[in-house]
Amino acid sequence: MLKVLKFGGTSMADAAQYHKVRDIVLSDPTRRVVVVSAAGKRFSEDNKITDLLYLCYAHLQYGVSCDTIYAMIRERYCSIRDELGLKTDLEGEFDALREKMEHGISREELVSRGEYFSALLMAEYLGFEFIDATRWLYFHYDGTVDQEKSYAALRELVGEGCAVIPGFYGLMPDGKIRTLTRGGSDITGALAAAALDADVYENWTDVSGILMADPRIVDNPKPIERATYSELRQLSYSGAQVLHEMTVFPVREKNIPLNIRNTNDPSHPGTLVSEEFVEPRSSQQRFITGIAGKRDFSVVTISKKGMAGAVGTLRSIVEVFENNTVPICYTPTGIDVLSLVVPTEKLTPHLYSITDELRSEVHPDSIKVSDNIAIIAVVGRKMAFRAGTSGKIFAALGAQGINIRMISQGPDELNILVGVDNKDYAETIRVLYNAFVK
């Protein structure tokens, strides 16, 4: 049994958080590989170390002194070390880095140092080996990860041991440091879990899992206990702020479950994401998994008599959108009528060329464009087995006087989408949450 853990910035923010991390890791001997972020915010107005490092680089570029910012970064790590009674020679490390900055350092190398210092300290604190990301996370020249080479290298380095690894960066074929996208330590953690064929990838953050709805809209939404990878994809596509797609990809590919946990509430089971679950018939779990949505869609509705049976019309319509590089998000259909739901900001610059081209290519009876539409998805793998879900949605929204402008069910019965006016967006989410969850 092997668990790979990743701790985010708030879990690495100060000595008290390091203490919690150590308790979590050492409470389970199978928690052998730990990926860490740079120190994050301790309170809402605080600075993230990575942001300060980007700022340092900007100062260097403009020839302005970055001494004050650099001192803040140094002080943050030295105080963590001192409070924990560790011995790592951070002064030597920071002096050497400052020297390198004077002689020209790349932006990616400089901003990667937050994770590097976090990992050095955490390795000493846990008594684990420090394995630098440059020793295993290899990129191709095009910036994609060389999975085969990276996985083999990490397996060799970790063996049966215990290790701490910095997240967020790796090595280019020319020996230069390259960073992943912002928040990329999640991806490092997933790659490490996949490399080592871990039994679970635990992603430790400061919330108890993924929430069933946006907490800015619903008061105290409940966390999702279990979700399949497909549901997670649906929720993030529909607007939920969950993990980046790239995070999920390496672990999903290897069928490794992902467990999102809270460092500040370690006994909470968080959210477990897996390819599938064996659901007991008497499952007490909630019927829907989550609700997510986005505002500002446009719906382009094209009607043409006989369109339903005609060959090639759909292709011609889709081609017009493709030629104008406008992505199509959803396509609810009727008989002889088809709607394309697209983001308004993508449609607006091409609206006239699209309607012109549709007229000449498709010869429709009418084209109607409605703006200010919000699309809300009710997602749940169990909806497929239960009658009356759509009825419940209609009834709940109807009772609150919310006009449904569009409705569509995914063919996999994993989601039901409702389109409402932008102004009804938040209320729709609240009404659906109350109807299905409360």
Q: Which residues bind ligand ASP (CB under 6 A)?
A: 9, 37-38, 48, 50, 114, 167-168, 182-186
Comparing CA positions, the residue from 114, 112, 69 lying closest to residue 90 is: 114
Q: How far is the CB of 205 from ligand ASP (least distance, A)?
A: 10
Q: Which is nearer to ligand ASP, 41 or 350 (CB)?
A: 41
Q: Which is nearer to ligand ASP, 246 or 426 (CB)?
A: 246
Q: How far is the CB of 203 from ligand ASP (least distance, A)?
A: 10
Q: Which is nearer to ligand ASP, 171 or 341 (CB)?
A: 171
Q: How far is the CB of 177 from ligand ASP (least distance, A)?
A: 13
Q: How far is the CB of 243 from ligand ASP (least distance, A)?
A: 11
Bridge partners of 374, per DSSP, are 420
Taken in order 351, 354, 360, 362, the sign of the CA dihedral is negative
Q: Which is nearer to ligand ASP, 9 or 419 (CB)?
A: 9
For residue 216 the two structure tokens come to 């800015």
Question: What is the identity of the amino acid at 183?
Answer: G
Q: Which is nearer to ligand ASP, 38 or 291 (CB)?
A: 38
Q: How far is the CB of 201 from ligand ASP (least distance, A)?
A: 14
Using CA atoms, how far apart are residues 309 and 105, in angstroms rounded to an integer?
63
For residue 285 the two structure tokens come to 């779990």
Using CA atoms, how far apart are residues 219 and 214, in angstroms rounded to an integer?
9
- The residue nearest ligand ASP at its CB is 185
Phi, psi for residue 356 in degrees, rounded to 5: -60, -50
Q: Which is nearer to ligand ASP, 42 or 346 (CB)?
A: 42
Phi, psi for residue 333 in degrees, rounded to 5: -125, 155
Q: Which is nearer to ligand ASP, 186 or 424 (CB)?
A: 186
Q: Which is nearer to ligand ASP, 166 or 293 (CB)?
A: 166
Phi, psi for residue 184 in degrees, rounded to 5: -70, -10
Q: Which is nearer to ligand ASP, 40 or 221 (CB)?
A: 40
* Cβ atoms of residues 415 and 236 within 8 Å: no
Q: How far is the CB of 41 from ligand ASP (least distance, A)?
A: 10
Q: Which is nearer to ligand ASP, 90 or 374 (CB)?
A: 90
39-47 contacts: CB < 8 A, separation 24 or more? 39/9, 39/12, 39/13, 39/14, 39/76, 39/77, 39/80, 39/114, 39/118, 40/8, 40/9, 40/10, 40/11, 40/12, 40/13, 41/9, 41/10, 41/13, 42/10, 42/13, 42/14, 46/13, 47/72
* 117-146: b (≥16 Cβ within 10 Å) or e: bbbbbbbbbbebebbbbbbbbbbeeeeebb
Bridge partners of 234, per DSSP, are none
Q: How far is the CB of 130 from ligand ASP (least distance, A)?
A: 17
Q: How far is the CB of 207 from ligand ASP (least distance, A)?
A: 15
* 16-54: b (≥16 Cβ within 10 Å) or e: ebbebbbebbeeeeebbbbbbbbbbeeeeeebbbbbbbb
Q: How far is the CB of 251 from ligand ASP (least distance, A)?
A: 16
Q: How far is the CB of 360 from ligand ASP (least distance, A)?
A: 47
